[in-house]
Amino acid sequence: MKRIILLLTAGALTLSAFAQKPAGNPKGGISADMLKEISGAYEGSATDKALRNALNSASINVLATSANRIAMIDTHFSDMVVTKGRTDQKSSGRCWLFTGLNVLRSRMIQKHDLGAFTFSQNYLFFYDQLEKSNLFLQGIIDTRDLPIDDRKVDWLLSHPLDDGGQFTGVSNLVMKYGVVPSEVMPETLAANSTSQMSTQIKTKLREDALALRAAKPKELQALKVAMLKEVYRMLALCLGVPPTEFTWARYNSKGEFVSENTYTPKSFYEEFVGEDLENNYIMVMNNPAVEYGKVYEIEYDRHVYDGQNWVYLNLPMDRIKEMAIASIKDNTALYFSCDVGKFLDRSRGVADLANFDYESLMGVKFGMNKKERILTHASGSTHAMTLIAVDLKEDKPVKWMVENSWGATSGYMGNIIMTDEWFNEYMFRLVVEKKYVPADIMALMQQKPILLPSWDPMFAPEE
């Protein structure tokens, strides 16, 4: 009987405490009167009803399409880099890798008079995933004395592996592992659709992280190697085993046989490309949310542990365009990244601020500028492509064109055409060969970089 009374008393206290628990601040909530005022803003007019009916059966982008932008934009360009063929990253976040290799491919085709040619993205993707796994595991070792809820540890555990990236990954991986033609290590199902493979490896890496944090210091290196062996096996099953030597037959642009030789991936790169990717380029960005003329570095934002973090020089748009135009005029493609989904008509392959009239459809105003969109996470660099053309009128750019990696039938013949106004608002980063960089900009690159944390919103991987 005493036990029952005690339980009843405890239950009563619990209910009493629950009942007395303070609710949210009534001054900050939506009161009945406030709801009445808010809901009164929707009139339910004939126009509103028509829009509701339309939105029930058609997408916002379809209904917001500007009628005066339905016709195809002028496709003439005053200056264009020679390229052949288009690539397709399919259901993967490897745009950075496709873009970097497409820049090299364009140069190789011109230099050696080749027909259509592509590098194996799958070959470098294998090593990208292996290197990123090592980067994560070593990061866990380096931070093992920090609490597991420390923000740096939490960031690592939240991002053990992904298939996105940027140009530093291309440069480090190519210089370390070389390249091979696509037919030597072709795409696989897992390479074209990375999510399931990635899920399994990430789960294993997170489990490994707990083991590393609990291990004794003298056990760490052997443990990490054993863990990477398991990652290697998973990658080999999904992507294939990377070749260490291969034979390749070379044909010229007329389809005529030229030669056949045996190469290693590194000797192939040295013979047919031979650039020092780690030292021959600079990366610039246009981010009005931080100071121009400064160099920024992002901690842990690299692909290879013993490679380089991202290092960018922040510049006004006119200086970036100056270098882009110089490179294109010299028939040299550039690595380019932007917020591709904004105001993009995918069917025509045109990015134009006037493509969609969201304000008229929704009856609201959208007024943020580029800086404000960055600060509020409304915009950022999401996709890398290869900048190949500019149309100049009286020496001023009117529009630009990029070679995309969504297949030859996407957009405009596998490309996207961007108006110069769109370029100003949604272009973010460019990789430029040093010979196209003015001396005053090169001098700015000598600054000590300002270190930003891995979670800086402007530096999410490009997909």
Q: Which pLDDT tens digit goes with each residue over 235-247?
A: 999 999 999 999 9
Of the CA atoms within 13 Å of residue 451, those in its CB half-sphere come to 5
Please say whether the structural domain 79-459 has been given the CATH code 3.40.50.720: no
Q: What global pTM score does this model have?
A: 0.89
What average pLDDT does range 274-283 have in this prediction? 94
**Nearest residue to 11 (alpha-carbon basis) of 3, 281, 399, 153:** 3
Annotate 224-275 with DSSP letters as a single string. Answer: HHHHHHHHHHHHHHHH-PPPS-EEEEEEBTTS-EEEEEEE-HHHHHHHHT--
393 token code pair: 């009128």
320 token code pair: 């970036």
How far apart are the C-alpha atoms of 379 and 370, rounded to whole Å? 8
Q: What is the pLDDT of residues 200-216, one digit of tens each?
A: 999 999 999 999 999 99
User: What are the sequence ranges of the domains in the chain?
Assistant: 79-459
What average pLDDT does range 138-150 have in this prediction? 97
Q: How far apart are the first and last CA of the chain?
A: 67
What's the chain's average pLDDT?
91
For 213, other C-beta atoms within 10 Å of its C-beta total 15
Q: Residue 308 to residues 102, 304, 337: CA-CA distances in angstroms?
A: 21, 7, 19
pLDDT-derived band at 23, boundaries 50, 70, 90:
low
* Alpha helices, H only, 249-388: 265-272, 317-329, 358-362, 370-375
> Which of the residues are catalytic?
95, 383, 404
Q: Residues 284, 276: contact at Cβ < 8 Å?
A: no
How far apart are the C-alpha atoms of 129 and 231, rounded to whole Å? 9
pLDDT-derived band at 22, boundaries 50, 70, 90:
low
Owner of token pair 């990954």:
169
Length of the chain: 463
pLDDT-derived band at 8, boundaries 50, 70, 90:
very low
Classify residue 261 as left (phi > 0), alpha (psi -120 to 50) or beta. Answer: beta
340 token code pair: 């591709």
Q: What is the pLDDT of residues 427-452, one digit of tens each?
A: 999 999 999 999 999 999 999 999 98
Q: Residue 257 to residues 113, 163, 248, 271, 442: CA-CA distances in angstroms?
A: 12, 36, 11, 18, 43
155 token code pair: 């960031």
The pLDDT value recorded for residue 1 is 45
The pLDDT value recorded for residue 10 is 46
